[in-house]
Structure 1
Amino acid sequence: MHINIIKRFIFLAVMVALGLSVNGCTTPPPAKIEADPTLLRVGVSPTTPPMIYKQNDEIVGLEADMARALAKFLQKSAVLVELPWVDQIPALLENRTDIIMSSMSVTPARQYEIAFSKPYFKSGLMILTKNVQKFTFITNVETALAQSITWRIGVIKGTTGEAFVAQKNIGAKAIKSFDTQGDALKELISGRIDVFVHDAPMILMMAAQHQTDGVKPLPFMLNEEYLAWGLRKSDTDLIAKVNAFVDQAYKEGTLQETIKRWIPMAQ
């Protein structure tokens, strides 16, 4: 990703953060919502702007918009069930939710437990750092991995960022796992970690919102990931309908419009 594109994205992301592109969403209901044929119980962890997060006590973001559109397609009402990230798959399997729409990447480990809809977005992992001047010579994955032995790396528990760092066995100086990206950001700003590895849309939004703190992303992706919505394997009818929604939204252009609204530099 070219640095000028990232700068442009940061400017536009700030506009989103100020509310120029925000659509309100229903206040999250209690964690326990009984199954109802008129409802689509959507599991969300609203801590990852611009995908799904809270603004003025409302849940907003790309996933919130898509949840409402999907519910309308299914002739249901969307109910956003707010959950910790680590509880998303257990809640789905225990029938506390009907679908996970919370910026979840498709991985083999997750596919072992749940089904996924057709992917709706290609993303990847990026690196956020505070002292970007020290990283100017790091321009690709290879140089990043080579230098990572000197880094204290922050990741979020249960995410592909954590899995990537673990699988690469990079021998980092330290690897710290956090519950939320807000926690990781505080540690980065305070200098207690050197880099934060997380999904690109969230990294870019954090950079936009915290420019005065000096945090910036390195201008490349560490990998490629596909985002999709999680469903129970036994819900074959719902899986088919959700896939039909993805196909229709893509054909009509509404999917691309929603993505562009929240992630202006998306390809």
Structure 2
Amino acid sequence: MTTIFRKSIHLLGIILVCSMVLCACATPPSPVIEADPGILRVGVSPDSPPLIFKKDDRIDGLEADMALALADYLGKTAVFVEVRWEDQIPALLDNRTDIIMSGMSVTPARQYAIAFSKPYFKAGLMILVKNLQKYNFIKNTETVLAQSITWRMGVVKGTTGESFTRQKNIGAKSIAAYEDQREALNALVAGRIDVFIHDAPNVLMLAAQHQADGVKPLPVMLNEEYLAWGIEKGDSELVKAANAFIDQAMQKGTMQAIIKRWIPLAE
């Protein structure tokens, strides 16, 4: 993979400029919004800065900017529907949302249930630790897998971080699955876990926001992941339109501009 985050430590200082306070741990369900040809109901779990989060009761982040741009392209109004992460796909299938734009990566299991737009961003998983000096010898994924037997790992339920640790069967001392990244971060700071495995943009943002707690990212990308937008399989029109929007935004450079705004060293 072209290393999107090869200067991850340097990125912490840049991200501090745009770091935001995390929202409350649980994402309360939004009122049901009926389908309407004039609106685009965007399913979001706003607890994952810089991708999607809340600032002063307003949905913000990379995905929020993209949702507004996509809705404008479609001639619609974007309406953000707050959904717990584990309910994102059920909400889409129940016709409570039209599209998931919440930092969702493409996996075979998810592709079985829903359709995806073209990927718009290539990222991966990173590791957040509290005492970086203890882990200075970690240079690559092989070292991680070799040392994980001694680690108490933390992940967020239902994420690719959880599936990676469980599917790899890496023999961790323990794996604790938390409801959201704030819970996992608190466990790391309190010393209940040794490492927290999560999506790279989120790990870098958390490290920037919580420098005073001593948390740091390991400069190792564990895998490759592709972020895309989830759409109900029967909605081929929206899939086609979303793909056309991505193509146009890439050609015009607006997609890259939005990504650079939130993840400055992204390539």
Indicate yes or no: 2:10 matched with 1:8.
Answer: yes
Q: Which residue is 1:83 aligned to?
A: 83
Give, in whole Å, the separation in 1 of the partners of 2:20 and 2:84. 25
Give, in whole Å, the separation in 1 of the partners of 2:145 and 2:90. 33
Moved over 4 A (4+): 1-4
Give, in whole Å, the separation in 2 of the partners of 1:111 and 1:33. 25
Q: CA deviation at 1:205?
A: 0.3
Contact 2:34 2:96 in 1 (8 A): yes
TM-score, normalised via structure 2 length: 0.94
Q: CA deviation at 1:31?
A: 3.1
Instruction: Give the counterpart letter for 1:89 in structure 2.
Output: I
Q: CA deviation at 1:171?
A: 1.0
Give, in whole Å, the separation in 2 of the partners of 1:238 and 1:55. 29
Give, in whole Å, the separation in 2 of the partners of 1:161 and 1:6. 18
| 1:121-164, Cα deviation, whole Å (9 max, x unpaired) | 00000000001111000110000010000000000100000000
Q: Secondary structure at the match of 1:105?
A: coil
Q: Which residue is 1:107 aligned to?
A: 107
Q: Which residue is 1:33 aligned to?
A: 33
Q: CA deviation at 1:217?
A: 0.4
Q: Which residue is 1:214 aligned to?
A: 214
Q: Secondary structure at the match of 1:217?
A: strand
After TM superposition, the structure 1 = structure 2 runs for residues 1-267 of structure 1, keeping only pairs within 5 Å, are 5-17=7-19, 30-267=30-267
Contact 2:40 2:98 in 1 (8 A): yes
After superposition, the Cα gap between the structure-2 partners of 1:2 and 1:111, relative to the gap in structure 1 and judged at 3 Å, is closer
Give, in whole Å, the separation in 1 of the partners of 2:30 and 2:165. 35
Instruction: Give the counterpart letter for 1:218 in structure 2.
Output: L
Q: CA deviation at 1:30?
A: 3.3
Give, in whole Å, the separation in 1 of the partners of 2:124 and 2:189. 23
Give, in whole Å, the separation in 1 of the partners of 2:43 and 2:6. 35
Instruction: Give the counterpart letter for 1:11 in structure 2.
Output: G
After superposition, the Cα gap between the structure-2 partners of 1:60 and 1:193, relative to the gap in structure 1 and judged at 3 Å, is same
Q: CA deviation at 1:188?
A: 0.2
Give, in whole Å, the separation in 1 of the partners of 2:253 and 2:113. 31
After superposition, the Cα gap between the structure-2 partners of 1:3 and 1:214, relative to the gap in structure 1 and judged at 3 Å, is farther
Q: Which residue is 2:24 aligned to?
A: none
TM-score, normalised via structure 1 length: 0.94
RMSD: 1.6
Unpaired segments ≥5 residues, structure 2: 22-27
Unpaired segments ≥5 residues, structure 1: 20-27
Q: CA deviation at 1:3?
A: 8.9
Contact 1:29 1:80 in 2 (8 A): no
Q: CA deviation at 1:7?
A: 2.7
Give, in whole Å, the separation in 2 of the partners of 1:48 and 1:3. 17
After superposition, the Cα gap between the structure-2 partners of 1:3 and 1:262, relative to the gap in structure 1 and judged at 3 Å, is closer
